[in-house]
Amino acid sequence: MPELPEVEAARRELEPVMHGARFERVLVRRPDLRRPFPRRFAARLSGRTVRALTRRGKYLLADLSSDETLLMHLGMSGSFRLDHSDPGPHDHVVFEMSSGTVVTFNDPRRFGVMDLVATLRLDAYPALRSMGLEPLGDDFDGAALARACARRRTPIKVALLDQRVVAGVGNIYASEALNLAGLSPRQRASSIATPGGAPKPAAYRLAAAIKRVLRSAIARQTAATYRQSRFRVYDREGEPCPTRGCAGTIVRLDQAGRSTFYCPVCQRAQTSIAVPTPRSRR
């Protein structure tokens, strides 16, 4: 499933051909994705100029000259292609831009979303209004992360997947950041804060690790095809821990129906939450 780095990489690829360009023609090849397209979707886009292309969590936001915003979510299998090839069976939306580029949205599993909302009401959009801080933003640091986790008794890995805590991290990069920070995915989220919500050193380590793994992943995404061999621990069950000086072995456990990968040697739990360990989807 695309996570923040994949979405940010898509934004950086689309921005040069969409920012400042008009939608000359919009072709919608089916009535819905995860849910139906908005009423008169193609007509409301046609002739409109993209004033800015930004990202919020895992959403791409195209600010339009009509004072509406086009929201795009990749879902589980969505991606954009820039070419003039004929649409294939999973090419559901085609944007012909005045820049001369054809932008095609491909989504085999159709879990993606495209919506139009009045820009002035964007903050009230259900998926955005309760979203946590952007992990790459200036406001996100150890203190902010501690405040978001202070009252949460769930495992910290599960908390990082909650979009109300931090926007867009996702399953892969939560495992990566926790390993880099030397924190167990099983310890309580509140363990990185004092009872009053002040940050402990672990909160600063984790916030810095989140920024580092996301920036590294974005850099790789924009440079070349992403390779799973670059992951520190994700999908590396049974392999040696990559932390220097650690003799541990990566294990896998199930948390909230998702696979978590970590080293039980250098990621010892402080206040752990007991979890079952059945096999789950990766």
- 81-96 pLDDT, tens digit each: 999 888 899 999 999 9
Domain boundaries, the chain: 4-129, 142-262
Instruction: Give residue 192's pLDDT.
Output: 97
Q: What is the mean pLDDT of residues 269-279?
A: 44
Between 6 and 282, whose confidence is greater?
6
Three-state DSSP state, 128: helix
For 201, the 3-state DSSP assignment is helix
Distance CA 263, CA 179 (A): 7
**Residue 6 vs residues 19, 38, 40: alpha-carbon distances, Å:** 19, 25, 29
Look up tokens 């989504």; give the residue: 107
Between 275 and 51, the higher pLDDT residue: 51
Mean pLDDT of 246-254: 97
For the domain made up of 4-129, give the CATH fold.
Answer: N-terminal domain of MutM-like DNA repair proteins (3.20.190)
pLDDT band at residue 2 using 50, 70 and 90 as cut-offs:
confident
Which is nearest to 126 in space by CA: 139, 140, 115? 115
Task: Answer whether residue 159 shows pLDDT above 90.
Answer: yes
CA–CA separation, 193 and 204 (whole Å): 10
- Range of lowest pLDDT (28-32, 203-207, 223-227): 223-227
Query: With 0-12 CB in 10 A as exposed, 13-18 as middle and 19+ as buried, what is 186?
Result: buried
Determine the distance from the C-alpha atom of residue 255 to the mean position of all C-alpha atoms in its chain, rounded to a whole number. Answer: 18
Give residue-wise pLDDT tens across range 108-155. Answer: 999 999 999 999 999 999 999 999 999 999 999 999 999 999 999 999
Buried b / exposed e over 209-243, threshold 16 CB at 10 Å, is bbbebbebbbeebeeeeeeeeebbbbebeeeebbb
Q: Is the pLDDT of residue 49 over 60?
A: yes
pLDDT band of residue 272 (cuts 50, 70, 90) is very low
Cα–Cα distance measured from residue 154 to residue 16, given in angstroms and rounded to the nearest whole number = 41
Task: Give pTM, 2 decimals.
Answer: 0.89
Q: Which residues are catalytic?
A: 2-3, 58, 258
- CATH topology classification for 142-262: Helicase, Ruva Protein; domain 3 (1.10.8)
**Distance from the first to the final alpha carbon of the chain:** 10
Q: In terms of Cα–Cα distance, which of 215, 256, 217, 246 is closest to 234?
A: 217
Beta carbons of 178 and 209 less than 8 angstroms apart: yes
Share of the chain above pLDDT 90, in %: 88
| Orientation angle between helical segments 201-223 and 4-18, nearest 10 degrees | 50
Average pLDDT value for residue range 53-67: 98
| Contact present, 251 and 268 (Cβ < 8 Å) | no
Mean pLDDT of all residues in 246-275 = 85
184 or 224, which is more confident:
184
What's the rounded Cα separation, in Å, for the pair 131 and 190? 19
Distance CA 27, CA 37 (A): 12
